[in-house]
Amino acid sequence: MPRIFSRRNFLITGAVLGGTAMVAAVGGIGTLATVDMDGPDPLLDGDRLVFNAFVAIHQDGSVVIQAPRTEMGQGIHTGLAMLVAEELDIPFDARIRVEHPVEQLAAYTNFSGPLRTRPEGAQGPVMWAAKRLLGLLPLNNTAGSRSIVGMWVPMRQAGAAARHMLVTAGAARLGVQVGDVTTSDGFVRHAASGRNIAYGDLVRDAAAVPPPSDPVLKPASAWRLIGRAQPRVDLPAKIRGEPVFGADVVLPDMLHAAIRQAPVFGASVARVVNEAETRAQPGIVDVAVIDGRSVAVVASSWWLAETAAWRLDIQWAATEAEVVTSAGLARALQSALDGDEPHLYLHEGDVEVPAGQVVTAAYTAPFVTHACMEPMNATVLIRGDGTAEAWCPTQSPMSMRWGVNRGAALADVDPTSVTCHVTMTGGAFGRRSDLDVVVQAAFLATRHRDRPVKLMWSRQEDIGRGIYRSHAAARMRAALGPDGLPVSYDALVAAQSMQQSASARLLPFGNGASPHGDRFTVEGLDKSYYAVPNRRLRSHHVPSHMPIGAWRSNGFSFGTFFAESFVDECAQAASQDPVAYRRRLLRDSPRHLAVLDRVAALAGWGTPLAPGRGRGVAIEEAYESVVAEVVEITVAADGEITVDRVFCVVDVGIVVNPDAVVAQMEGGIQFGVTTALMSSITLEAGAVMESNFHDFPMQRLANAPEIVVEIMPSNLPPGGAGEPGIVPVAAAIANAIHAATGRRLRSLPFATVETLGERRLRTVLPAVDMAARN
């Protein structure tokens, strides 16, 4: 990957942040909220003009856009490029090249996630200081469905600033007023004289034009790209099978590494019994114990390394966690729920208010993992001169850089600089925010200076030694008023804190954030948009030895299942239709109500279904979007369950690329169906039992439902789209099972998987609900 920005960005933003250095170039960092356009003049570099941190134009008219968010299948490179192209007035075609930037600039910071704000909304001295701090790290990650939310304004400003400079240069060249020229299709046009100048011909002149401090953005009425489906810029290469992934990185002199990590998290390596024998095999270059916790084999080929790793005879030191089982951890959740002093997350009104009928229910969800299609991998090169370079399918170049530093530090090496190349990722789903594989690869690279070391985990390591979404359990209680609607709603949830587990791994200092009051534990349980006067939400953190990390939609993946199943149970207790009941609860939330009404209409809610079939609905507000889904299922006499169709209506605010939003809903729904029906990570003797797709199965094409997605028109600022799709799925399926069979399933996953020969499976509801037995 070429290093498009080097010297250039130093001049434009005043700070190139590499290695461990935090460059406090205070004067030059400028407005972190935007694109640093009030920095020094843009610069010509060979045949191109680098306008700002995001846009460069070559004299041949080709445009290079820096998209500082990881492309992991969500189409973000296309969406971000559309925003620039919209304001720049260039056609959305093959003359645009989109790159993930190599330099880590403050302008690429994702502060909208951690600060939970939008660039256009971020004001005041506290926000300014917080943004500056994040920019110094710089915190650049792709997470929380925040990419469009956070870059919606900066990317358009970058395009508008470049256009302003081209227009100014073009008008001067033509000897006319700026107001007399227009732009379209990559030309500055003077209609009165019929003269046009291509952007490429103006880059030299535009270099002399000062960037505008506050570029004017187009009104929505002038958009020609935003809101119109554009083809993904990354698909042609992917359809040709070109090597775009981290797993495809090939470098001269590269070594390959495979790894075996402790079966029980936290266990250390006591001895590698056959180390000498392994080293003696042809092609094996190294056997290394990493941080006392895993053993890697380095070889001339990954296949050789992995084969040797299979044969490693490793003795692991005993740990306390060896007695842990899934059943024991599940009991720990229940005793936490029984215990005193939960964290009070929210209390509005008084949930003890006396009311009529009381509804209670208890739910559970298991540990699950990501199983990204591309196994975890990283390639790291540490040179004799002390510099380091790394290639990784990561969601966070910041984590990646820290990972290299931390891995090198295990060998007492402190790279003088770390250059990070973010590759395309074969799925991510939160998993690639972590830096474990980078740490390991960097440590190995310290042992083989001047040779890139590419470490790739086997699928067994990915599923059995990975990072997980926490299990969870909840107890819900509602008291219904005379109209059947809840007067009070009380949710008590127990889970292991993701915030604490992940931040302890990812932050370079301390033991992580407080686990109490972790918002990721209570996501989906708040139900603030429902008109319930008295609400309480409490949580327990239940620690374990399992590493917990970000997982597509985090707490929503269980919290919405609990809450939206429970709403159906309340509707049932009140003898009301689930959609009609929610409509009444949404009386003060018109945005949500419109989404619900639309999905009900789309799905033909209320029309009769054959016996054994059922419909279920669920709704959620997540990532500043509102999504509702209706699921249609069939349960056969022998318990086989098929999810036949899913109708999805989503309000994501203003839509940039509608087809990408539809694809994210489709993908999220499939992800959700697999998870709801069949995903579970179990523990025996402290170790994860699942190891590959045969025992952590996925639905396949034959099991996949038909999906109908509709996007609500909206003028609200863009919300997130990567995660909302999965959120309502589990509850909608549970509600559909109830409609079809009268059975209320309160434990995920709902089904057991039966194989029907190779690579063929069906899902069957157990005869007895496990939760009912608890």
Partner 1 sequence: MVSLNVNGAPVTVSAPDDKPLLWVLREDLGLLGAKYGCGIAQCGACRVLINGVSTPSCVTTLSTVAGASVVTVEGLPQADGTLSVLQQAWLDEQVPQCGFCQPGFLVAATALLDRVPQPTNAEIDEFIDNICRCGTYPRIRRAIHRAAAAQAQG
701 binds, among ligand FES, partner 1, none (CB under 5 to 8 A by kind): partner 1
Q: Minimum distance between the CB of residue 122 and ligand FES, rounded to whole angstroms?
A: 34
Angle made by CA atoms 489, 492, 497, in degrees to the nearest 5 = 135
774's contact among partner 1, ligand FES, none, with CB below 5 to 8 A by partner kind, is none
Confirm or reject binding of residue 14 to ligand FES (CB under 6 A): no
Closest distance to ligand FES from the beta carbon of 692 (Å): 9
Q: Which residues partner with 44 through β-bridges?
A: 49
Considering beta carbons, is residue 496 or 664 the nearer one to ligand FES?
Answer: 664
Q: Please give the angle made by the CA atoms of 624, 626 and 630, to the nearest 5 degrees.
A: 155
Q: 287: Cβ–Cβ under 8 A, 6 or more apart, which residues?
A: 272, 275, 278, 279, 295, 296, 297, 298, 312
Q: Which residues, at least 6 apart from 9, have a Cβ–Cβ distance to it below 8 Å? A: 16, 50, 53, 103, 105
Q: How far is the CB of 229 from ligand FES (least distance, A)?
A: 18
Q: Does 704 bind ligand FES (CB under 6 A)?
A: no
> Which residue of this chain has its Cβ atom nearest to ligand FES in the complex?
373
Nearer to partner 1, 427 or 484 (CB): 427
Q: How far is the CB of 236 from ligand FES (least distance, A)?
A: 15
Give the C-alpha separation, 34 to 52, whole Å. Answer: 11
Residue 82: partners with Cβ closer than 8 Å, 6 or more residues away: 92, 225, 226, 230, 656, 657
Tell me the closest approach of the beta carbon of residue 466 to partner 1, in angstroms: 14
242: left (phi over 0), alpha (psi -120 to 50) or beta: beta
Q: Minimum distance between the CB of residue 279 and partner 1, rounded to whole angstroms? A: 19
Decide the pairing of beta strands 55-58 and 63-66.
antiparallel
Between 458 and 557, whose beta carbon lies closer to ligand FES?
458
State in angstroms the smallest separation of the CB of 63 from ligand FES. 27
Q: Could you tell me the smallest distance in angstroms from the CB atom of residue 73 to ligand FES?
A: 5
Interaction of residue 373 with ligand FES, rule CB under 6 A = yes
Partner in contact with 773, chosen from ligand FES, partner 1, none, beta carbon below 5 to 8 Å by kind: none
Helix (H) or strand (E) run with residue 461 in it: helix 459-464
Residue 671 interacts, among ligand FES, partner 1, none and using kind-specific CB cut-offs from 5 to 8 Å, with: partner 1
Q: Which whole-number Å values give the CA distances from 517 to 343, 450, 496, 500, 623, in the listed order?
A: 6, 46, 11, 10, 19
Site residues for partner 1 per CB under 8 A: 72-75, 231-232, 234-236, 238-245, 247-248, 250, 301-303, 371-375, 424-429, 456, 458-459, 659, 663, 666-671, 692-694, 698, 700-702, 704, 706-707, 758-760
Question: How many residues line the site for ligand FES (CB under 6 A)?
Answer: 3
73 binds ligand FES (CB under 6 A): yes
Structure tokens at 76: 């973000």
Q: Is 212 in the site for ligand FES (CB under 6 A)?
A: no
Say how many Å lie between the first and final Cα of the chain, rounded.
Answer: 55
Nearer to partner 1, 331 or 760 (CB): 760
Residue nearer to partner 1 on the CB measure, 13 or 74: 74
Closer of 370 and 469 to ligand FES (Cβ): 370
Strands 284-290 and 468-469: unpaired
Helix 436-446 vs helix 397-409: crossing angle, to nearest 10: 40
Name the 3-class secondary structure at 664: helix
| Nearest distance in Å: CB 373, ligand FES | 4
Beta carbon of residue 80, minimum distance to partner 1 (angstroms, whole number) = 16
383 with 449: CB under 8 angstroms? Answer: yes
Neighbours of 97 (CB within 10 A): 14
Q: How many helices (H) and strands (E) does the chain have?
A: 21, 32
Binders in 403-442 for ligand FES, by CB under 6 A = 427
Which residue, 69 or 535, is less far from ligand FES as judged by CB? 69
| 75 touches, from ligand FES, partner 1, none (C-beta below 5 to 8 Å by class) | partner 1
Specify whether the CB–CB gap between 171 and 139 falls below 8 A.
Answer: no
Q: Which of the listed partners (ligand FES, partner 1, none) does 204 bind, with a CB threshold of 5 to 8 Å by partner kind?
A: none
Burial class (CB in 10 A: 0-12, 13-18, 19+), 386: middle
Q: Which does 39 bind (CB under 5 to 8 A by kind): partner 1, ligand FES, none?
A: none
669 binds, among ligand FES, partner 1, none (CB under 5 to 8 A by kind): partner 1
Cis peptide bond N-terminal to 749, omega within 30: yes
Question: Is the CB of residue 569 less than 8 Å from the CB of residue 385?
Answer: no
* In the complex, least distance from residue 150 CB atom to ligand FES, rounded to whole angstroms: 24
Looking at the Cβ atoms of 398 and 424, the one nearer to ligand FES is 424
Q: Which residue has the tokens 């090597």?
A: 243
Q: Which does 250 bind (CB under 5 to 8 A by kind): ligand FES, partner 1, none?
A: partner 1
Query: In the complex, what is the shortest distance from the CB of residue 247 to ligand FES, in angstroms, rounded to a whole number?
Result: 11
Residue 577: name its binding partner from ligand FES, partner 1, none (Cβ under 5 to 8 Å by kind). none
Which residues form the interface with ligand FES (CB under 6 A)? 73, 373, 427
